[in-house]
Chain A
Amino acid sequence: MSDKTEPIGPASVVVVSGGSRGLGLAIVEDILAQGAKVAAFARTVTPELEAVAAAHPDRVVAASVDVTDVKAINAFLKEAESRLGPIDALVNNAAMGQDSLHVHTSPEQIAKIIETNLTAPLLLARAVLRRIMAKGNRGRIVMVTSVCAQRGYSGLVAYSATKGGLDSAMRTLAREMHGRALVNSVAPGFFASEMSSVLGQTQLDTITRRTPSGRLVEPDNIVPVVNMLLFKDTNINGQVLTVDGGNSI
């Protein structure tokens, strides 16, 4: 008998929060393409996610659940496990944005950002890990954070604090779950689509020029990194993988 801990296997049933659109939906589709099952939820289930669920009725559970509603989250996880089998992975993707100077952001809005982007993902990770551990299983957790956790960007004070908090929690969880779970973060830079809604073409061109890869980040750049963390045996653990074309270096 070897005393070496065996690698944690690829994910088979993955919970994806905020899985109804954008990056979350792209991650859901990629997990299905990989052959695994998905339990996806979001505040609102879009027709796109409905179509994915209809196309894979045996491999997808999709529901409208508010990530801050702990009771509803626990009921969703239980229902997902009864239909898909034991959950062994989580992509903590749901988040709300911010675009306001700290001095002009109300205390209520700051509390809401913290609840949605930090408290809720921590509780979701806790709930998923409790289910994994109770069954004697092992698993993988991926936090979708942001380059904002590493660099300062105006208008994103509370948002950055939550993403930095999540990165810190990720590292501690990776150590705490010693051998029972791989826990990592993927930190995207600003998506071209997000920036184009607030910046002009000249500003976008300047940012693109200053990005060493010469390209702004797209959700499609993030999906393969999440895939690697969910399915490959890389022994990456407790790390933040920044995907921003080198803009933050």
Chain B
Amino acid sequence: MSALSRDAIRTMMAEVLQAQGKSMPADDSANLEEIGFRSLDFSELALRVEDEIGDELNFDAPELRQIATISDVLDFLEQLQAA
């Protein structure tokens, strides 16, 4: 299956947040800590993306630690799909 678009990943990220009673801000520069999107939430999102594309997106923790904003999340998942 082909890579997911940035918009599709954004929608999935909103679903992860909504499942916890949180909302996705419109501004992609929003800080993940402030919106309550934790590292395991990123993990869940990455696994959801994997399910959709039918491929594994493995990565090391140091890369994850660089992620601070919604935009970073989307960038990183786009990069992982392209790798």
Residues of A at the B interface (CB closer than 8 Å) are 99-101, 103-106, 109, 154-155, 198
Contacts and interface: CB of A to CB of B under 8 A. Distances in A.
Contacts of A154: 61
8 contacts: A99-B60, A100-B58, A101-B61, A103-B47, A104-B43, A104-B59, A154-B61, A198-B65
A101 B61 CA distance: 7
A99 B62 contact: yes
B58 A198 contact: no
A104 B46 contact: yes
Interface in B49-78: 56-62, 64-65
A105 B62 contact: no
B62 to A, nearest CB: 6
A43 to B, nearest CB: 20
Chain A CB within 10 Å, residue with most, of B43, B47, B60, B64: B60
Interchain residue pairs A-B with the least CB separation, the first 3: A106-B58, A100-B60, A99-B61
Contacts of B59: 100, 104
Nearest to B47: A103
Contacts, number: 26
Nearest to A199: B65
A105 B27 CA distance: 31
B62 A101 contact: no
Contact of A100 (B47, B56, B61): B61
A176 to B, nearest CB: 37
Given A100-B58, A154-B61, 16 more contacts: A99-B60, A99-B61, A99-B62, A100-B59, A100-B60, A100-B61, A101-B43, A103-B43, A103-B47, A104-B43, A104-B57, A104-B58, A104-B59, A106-B58, A155-B61, A198-B65
Which of A101, A109, A154 gathers most chain B CB within 10 Å?
A: A101
Contacts of B60: 99-100
A155 B61 CA distance: 7
A106 B62 contact: no
B62 A109 contact: no
A109 B61 CA distance: 14
Interface centre among B43, B57, B58 (most CB of A within 10 A): B58
Nearest to B63: A100
Contacts of A198: 61-62, 65
Contacts of A105: 58
From B59, B61, B65, residue with most partner A Cβ within 10 Å:
B61
Contacts of B47: 103
Contacts of A101: 43, 61, 64
